[in-house]
Structure 1
Amino acid sequence: MKGVTRKSEEDVLVKRYDYLIAGGGIIGLTIARELKRRYPEARIAVIEKEPDVAKHSSGRNSGVLHAGFYYTADSLKAKFTRDGNEAMQAYCREHGLKLNRCGKLVVATDESELAGLEELKRRAERNGVELIWVDEEETVRIDPNVKTFKKALYSPNTASVDPVEVCMCIKKEVASQGVDFFFDTAYAGHKGDTILTNRGPFGCGYFINSAGLYADKVAHDFGFGRKYTIIPFKGIYLKYAKNKSDVRTNIYPVPNLNNPFLGVHYTKTVDGSIKIGPTAIPAFWRENYKGLHRFKMSEFFQILFYEAKLFWTNSFHFRRLAVEEMKKYNKANFIGLSLKMIKQLDPKGFGDFLRPGIRAQLLDKQTLELVQDFVLEGDSRSMHILNAVSPAFTCSLPFAAYVADQIEERRAAAPAAPSSQGTPVLR
C-alpha cells in the first residue's frame, strides 16, 4: 500500500498530498475515510511510524462500543458516543465484521452507590441514551451471576467488536479508494507546508495530527497545545480462561465521575470470552508496555516530573489513585476487586494478563487536572487532535466528521495564510 498516486519529476523529490494525516489509529483512519467521502478527488495519505495500523491504543482497547451515558450533556463525548455506537454497529453489519450485542449492567455494591446510579440515569436521559432501571430480580434474568444492591442500570445498546478487525477493514476500504499509506514513517518536524519524516519529505495542503501518544509533541512543534502534556496510563486486562459462560454481559461498577477511569469491570469480548480490567497504572514513558521496551530517558524525566507534582499536590486524588492502581499488579488483589459484582466465580479460573495498552491522557499543566473531553486545536494549515481518549473508538465515525467540519471552518476563515495562534474547540 506504499506509494503515491502521481509521479511527476517534482514528486520524486517531495511526495505531495492535499491532506496528510499522521497516525494510523482509528481516528486517523476514520478522518481519512471522511475526507475521501467529502473530496473524492483529493490526494490523501497516512503516515504511521509502526509497520501497520492499530498498533497502539486502537488495537489494544477493550473492543466495547459504549452507549454514551457516562458523560455530561455539554460534552463532545456525550453526542459522539451515542451517535458513534449506532454508526459503528451499522459499519460492522455492512462490512460483515464480528459484533456482539451483549449489553451492559452497571451495579451498586451498597446504599452509598445508588446516588451514582441516579446520576448516570440523569445523564442518559439528557443525552438521549437508552438506559433502563432493573431491580435485583430483573438483573438476574439478564445475567444470573450478577450481584447488585437493590437495583442496577441496563444498557441494551452496549456491544463489543474486534478493534483490529475494524481498523483493518477501514484501511482496506480507504486504500481501495486511493488513500496512500506509508508505514515505518515517523513524523520528524516541518518546514512550512513540508512535513519531514525519516523516509523523506511530504508536501501537503493540510496536515492532520492524530498521533495519539505523541499528539502533544507534534502539536507543540506547530505552536499548538502548549498548555497540555500527555500523561500515559497503562491498562491491563486479565482473561477468565475457565469458560465463556460464567458471565453473560458486560458488568461495570459505579464509577468515580471525577476522573475518566471506569474501574475494574467484566468485559464480554466479541467472541464471548470474559476478561476483567483494566488497570489505570501511571506509566513512566509513553510506550511503557513491558520492561524497558522503547524506554526514552527524556520522556521518563518529563513524565516523572508531572507525576511527582500530581502526587505532591494530590490533584484529583492522584496519590490514592496511584497507590490503588499499583496494587493491581498483584493478581489476587486484581481478581478480588472484580468478585464484588459477581455471586460466584472461580478465582483460579483466570489465566494470564493480556497485552497491555497505554491511554494517552491529556493533562492541563496549569490546573494539574486530567482533561476529560476531546480537544482540538488548529488553523487553516493544520489540525491537532490532542485528546482522543476512551471512548474514542466508539466515537470515531461521527468524530471524524466533526474534525472535517472544523477543518473546513478554519480554511474558510483564513484561506490565504495560517493564523499565528490556534483556537481551542469547545471542550
Structure 2
Amino acid sequence: MKHYQYLIAGAGIIGLTIARELKKRFSDATIAVIEKEEDVARHASGRNSGVLHAGFYYTADSLKAKFTKRGNKALTQYCLEKGLSVHQCGKVVIARDEKDLEGLEELKRRAEKNGVELIWVDEKELKEIEPNAVTYQKALYSPSTSTVNPVEVCQAIKKENIQNGVDFYFCHPYRKVKEQIIFAGDKRFSYDYFINAAGLYADKIAQDFGFGKDYMIIPFKGNYMKYEKNKEDIQTNIYPVPNLKNPFLGVHFTKMVDGTIKIGPTATPAFWRENYQGWSRFRLSEAIPILYYQAKLFVTNSFHFRSLAWEEIRKYRRSFFIGEALEMVRNVDPNGFADSFSPPGIRAQLLNKKSLELVQDFIVEGDKHSIHILNAVSPAFTCSMPFAEYVVDRIVEWKEKRG
C-alpha cells in the first residue's frame, strides 16, 4: 500500500500540468501519477498537431475562451525558457465562398470579445503572409498561433515533475476504487485527494465515484497525411471556416514545428476508445454502448451527425481527403502527399446522453475527495497550464468544504 496526498490518474498534458501546479503551490505535498501506458503522452496529448491556438473560436462565456489566450502565452514562454522547439508561424483562416464570410465575421466578433488579436486581411495582404493560400475576398490572420512538439513538451514537464518529487507509476492502469483506495495494476494506493485526468476513460472512472452520470465518451478518429514533396510550399497554418455548431475545425494545413507540412485531421466516428488501427485494443464492452449511441445520433441526426458521419467516412478515400485541402491553396502538388495516413489520434469527445449533444466546453465535476476532468478536448493542450490552475483552485475550494 502506497499513500499520497494527491493521486492523479493519467499522464497526458492535463495530468502532468496539474501535478506541476500542485507542486508549485504545495511543495511538500506527496504526489503520484498512475498511467496505464509505459510513458507520458501516448494518446491525445502526443498525437495532436501541436498547434497552440490563439483563442478566437470559442464563445466568451466558455472555459475554453477563458484559458486559450493565457495558455498560448504560457506554453510559448515555457518552450522558449526550456529551449524546446516552437515555430511561431501564425495562422490564416480563409473563406471559400460568400457564405464563409459570415463565419469569418463571427470569428472576428469572438476574437474581440476574448481579447485575442485577429487581423482582417484582403487577398493581396494574404498573399504576403501565405503566398499559397486562396480566399474569397478576405481572410483572417492570427499572429499568435504557433506549433510545438507535443511529446517534447510533455517529456519536459514530466522531467520537471520528477525533479520536484512527483512519483510516476507507468504500466499501472486504474482498475477500481474501494473505500478511498485505488487499485492500479498490481498496486494499491490510498490518497487524500484523487484527480481523474484519464482522457478516453475519464467518464468510466468518474462514474465509479458517482460523477459523470449524464455523460459518456464518444471517440472520433483524427487522421493526418504528410506532404512529402518539400517543406516550402506552405509557410503558415491554413484553416477553413469551421462549422461552429460542432467542435471540429475541418481539414487544414498545419506547419509543424520542424517545418513539415501535413493535412488533417478527420473527425471520423470510432467504434471503441482506442480504435487506432485494425482490431488493435478492441473491447466489445466498449464497442456496444458506443455503437448504440452512434446509432441514436444517426437516427435522430442530432447536431447533423448523419451528414457529418458520411462526410468524414468519405475522407478515408485518399483523393477526396487531399482534394478537401487543395481547395484552400493555389499550387500544392496533389502527388506530393504520402501514400497512407500518419498514425492517427483519438478525440475523447464527451456526449450528453440526455440531450444527445456533443459537449463543446470543458467539464469538471468533483467534491472534497476527488475531481474529474470529463471533457479535456482541443484546445486542452493549449489551455493546459491555466486550466491546471483552475482545477487546483477547485480542489482547494472543495477540500475547504470538508467540514
What is the TM-score with the length of structure 2 in the denominator?
0.99
Aligned residue in 2 for 1:270: 257
Alignment of 1:397-412 (within 5 A): 397-412=385-400
**1:168-201 CA deviation, whole Å, 9 max, x = no partner?**
0000001011000000001111112211112211
Aligned amino acid, residue 16 of structure 1: H
Q: Percent identity?
A: 66
Displacement of 1:240 after TM fit?
0.3
Deviations 1:399-419 (A, max 9, x none): 000000000110112x24xxx
- Partner amino acid, structure 2, of 1:21: I
For residues 186-225 of structure 1, give each alpha carbon's deviation from its aligned partner in whole angstroms, at most 9, with x where no partner exists: 1111112211112211010000000000000000000000
1:33 to 2:23 alignment:
no
Offset at residue 344 of structure 1 (A):
1.1
Amino acid at match of 1:142: I
Q: 2 CA distance for matches of 1:170 and 1:244?
A: 29
Work out the CA distance in 2 between the residues paired with 1:192 and 1:76.
Answer: 32
Distance 1:396 1:198 in 2: 27
- 2:47 alignment counterpart: 60
Whole-Å separation in 2 of the counterparts to 1:172 and 1:198: 23
1:195 paired with 2:143, answer: no
Q: Which of these residues, 326, 330, 335, is aligned with residue 313 of structure 2?
A: 326
Q: In structure 2, how many angstroms separate the alpha carbons of the residues matched to 1:70 and 1:115?
A: 14
Q: Deviations over 1:229-256 (max 9, x none)?
A: 0000000100000000101000000000
Q: What letter corresponds to residue 47 of structure 2 in structure 1?
A: R
- Other structure's SS at 1:201 match: strand
Q: Distance in 2 between matches of 1:406 and 1:112?
A: 42
Q: Which residue type is aligned with residue 178 of structure 1?
A: G
Partner of 2:327: 340
Distance in 2, Cα, partners of 1:303 & 1:81: 30
Q: Secondary structure of the residue that 1:360 maps to in structure 2?
A: strand
Match of 1:301 among 256, 271, 288: 288
Cα-to-partner distance string for 1:233-288 (whole Å, 9 max, x where unaligned): 00010000000010100000000000000000000000011000000000000000
Counterpart code for 1:181: F
**Residue aligning to 1:182:** 169
SS of the residue aligned with 1:350?
Answer: coil
1:153 aligns with 2:140: yes
Task: For residue 220 of structure 2, give the secondary structure of its aligned residue in structure 1.
Answer: strand
**Where in structure 2 are the equivalents of 1:71-82 lying within 5 Å?**
71-82=58-69
Kindly state the Cα deviation for residue 302 of structure 1 after the two structures are TM-superposed. Answer: 0.8
Matched, 1:207 2:194: yes
Aligned length: 402
Q: Which residue of 1 aligns with 2:236?
A: 249
Partner of 1:391: 379
Please state whether the residue corresponding to 1:168 is helix, strand or coil: helix
Separation (CA, whole Å) in 1 of partners of 2:308 and 2:133:
26
Aligned partner of 2:113 in structure 1 is 126
Deviation (angstroms), 1:115: 0.5
Aligned equivalents of 1:219, 1:191: Cα separation in 2 = 13
Provide the secondary structure at the position in 1 that maps to 2:315. helix
Which stretches in structure 1 are left out of the alignment for 5+ residues?
Answer: 1-13, 417-427
Partner of 1:356: 344
What is the CA distance between 1:353 and its match in structure 2?
1.1
Q: Secondary structure at the match of 1:181?
A: strand
Alignment gaps of 5+ in structure 2: none
1:332 Cα offset (Å):
0.3
Structure 2 SS opposite 1:341? coil
Residue 42 of structure 2 aligns to a residue whose secondary structure is coil
| Displacement after TM superposition at 1:304 (Å) | 0.3
Q: Could you tell me which amino acid in structure 2 is paired with residue 369 of structure 1? A: E
The superposition leaves residues 66-98 of structure 1 with CA deviations (integer Å, 9 ceiling, x where unpaired) of: 000000000000011010000000000110000
Matched, 1:217 2:240: no
Letter in 2 for 1:310: L
TM-score, with length taken from structure 1: 0.94
CA RMSD of aligned residues (A): 0.5
Structure 2: distance between partners of 1:409 and 1:52 = 31
Amino acid at match of 1:110: D
Distance (whole Å) between structure 1 residues aligned to residue 132 and residue 243 of structure 2? 24
Amino acid at match of 2:229: K
1:13-28 to structure 2, matched below 5 A, reads 14-28=1-15
Moved over 4 A (4+): none
Counterpart of 2:367 in structure 1 is 379
User: Do residues 69 (structure 1) and 56 (structure 2) align?
Assistant: yes
Q: Does 1:84 align with 2:71?
A: yes
Cα distance in 2 between the residues matched to 1:344 and 1:136: 16
